[in-house]
């Protein structure tokens, strides 16, 4: 299928476009484009793999099941965006504004979310294996059933976060604030690193070996 709009034909190094009229966009990835999507715009199943959307403004837009592997979205404005079931593996969301975002069941394996704002975001059942969440604002975010195995969540704000049944085996949460977080049924292992004075066994976490399978 041919794209409705192909930025490869443009020879300027930056452009201001609205994605709203276009159902398929082929983005030139070697330059940086300023992308603005109208609030409520929907782009289900769109393929933007490896696109450079640095500093994009796409708050309240919808990208369910979108292909966004290796995309550069840092530090984009993505408040209330819908990335549910999207593939964001190894994407760069450094310092992105994702407050209230819907990321349930999203593939965030080895995604860079360092310093990102994910307050009140829905990450239920998301795959965050090996993701970088250092210094992220995860206040009130929901990680129910999420896979955070091997992730780094150092010095992050997890106040009031919901981590029930999350897999924290091998995760590093050193220096993070877990005040008021709900963690019952979450999994951890000998390689999980918690903040000082945090005793996982006393508050309902379940210990498994890193090699144990979850059934």
Distance between CA atoms of residues 22 and 4, nearest Å: 6
Q: Taken in order 45, 46, 52, 54, is the CA torsion positive or negative?
A: negative
Q: How many beta carbons lie within 10 A of that of residue 1, not counting itself?
A: 5
Return the pLDDT at 125: 98
Return the pLDDT at 215: 59
pLDDT 10s digit of each residue in the chain, 215 long?
A: 333 333 333 333 333 344 443 333 444 444 444 566 777 788 888 999 999 888 888 889 999 999 999 999 999 999 999 999 999 999 999 999 999 999 999 999 999 999 999 999 999 999 999 999 999 999 999 999 999 999 999 999 999 999 999 999 999 999 999 999 999 999 999 999 999 989 998 888 999 987 777 65
The label of the residue with tokens 């403004």 reads 57
Return the pLDDT at 98: 98
The answer to whether 147 and 129 are in contact (CB under 8 A) is yes
212 to each of 35, 42, 108, 184, how far by Cα in Å?
44, 40, 22, 19
Distance between CA atoms of residues 71 and 50, nearest Å: 4
Return the pLDDT at 45: 87
Distance between CA atoms of residues 53 and 32, nearest Å: 7
Return the pLDDT at 3: 38
Gyration radius of the chain's alpha carbons = 18
Residues whose CB is less than 8 angstroms from the CB of residue 105 and which lie 6 or more positions away in sequence, other chains included: 84, 85, 124, 125, 126
Nearest in space to 27 (alpha carbons), one of 70, 77, 60, 62: 70
The pairing of strands 5-6 and 25-26 is: parallel
Q: What is the pTM of this model?
A: 0.84
Return the pLDDT at 34: 54
Q: Which two tokens stand for residue 208?
A: 């498994």
Phi-psi region of 213 (alpha: psi -120 to 50; beta: other; left: phi over 0): beta
Return the pLDDT at 194: 97
Q: How many beta carbons lie within 10 A of that of residue 21, not counting itself?
A: 10
Q: Please return the burial class of 213, using the count of CB atoms within 10 Å of its CB with bins 0-12, 13-18 and 19+.
A: exposed
Return the pLDDT at 77: 94
């Amino acid at each position: 299928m041919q794209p409705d709009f192909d930025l490869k034909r443009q020879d300027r190094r930056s452009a201001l476009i609205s994605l709203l009229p276009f159902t398929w966009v082929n983005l030139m990835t070697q330059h940086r484009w300023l992308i603005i999507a109208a609030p409520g715009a929907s782009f289900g199943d769109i393929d933007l793999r490896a696109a450079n959307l640095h500093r994009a403004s796409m708050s309240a837009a919808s990208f369910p099941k979108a292909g966004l592997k290796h995309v550069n979205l840092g530090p984009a404005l993505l408040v209330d965006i819908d990335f549910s079931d999207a593939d964001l593996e190894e994407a760069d969301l450094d310092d992105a504004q994702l407050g209230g975002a819907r990321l349930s069941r999203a593939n965030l394996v080895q995604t860079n979310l360092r310093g990102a704002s994910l307050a009140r975001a829905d990450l239920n059942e998301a795959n965050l294996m090996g993701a970088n969440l250092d210094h992220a604002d995860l206040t009130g975010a929901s990680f129910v059933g999420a896979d955070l195995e091997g992730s780094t969540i150092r010095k992050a704000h997890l106040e009031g976060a919901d981590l029930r049944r999350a897999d924290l085996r091998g995760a590093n949460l050193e220096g993070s604030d877990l005040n008021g977080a709900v963690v019952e049924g979450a999994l951890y292992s000998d390689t999980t690193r918690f903040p000082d004075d945090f005793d996982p066994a006393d508050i309902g976490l379940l210990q498994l070996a890193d090699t144990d399978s979850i059934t």
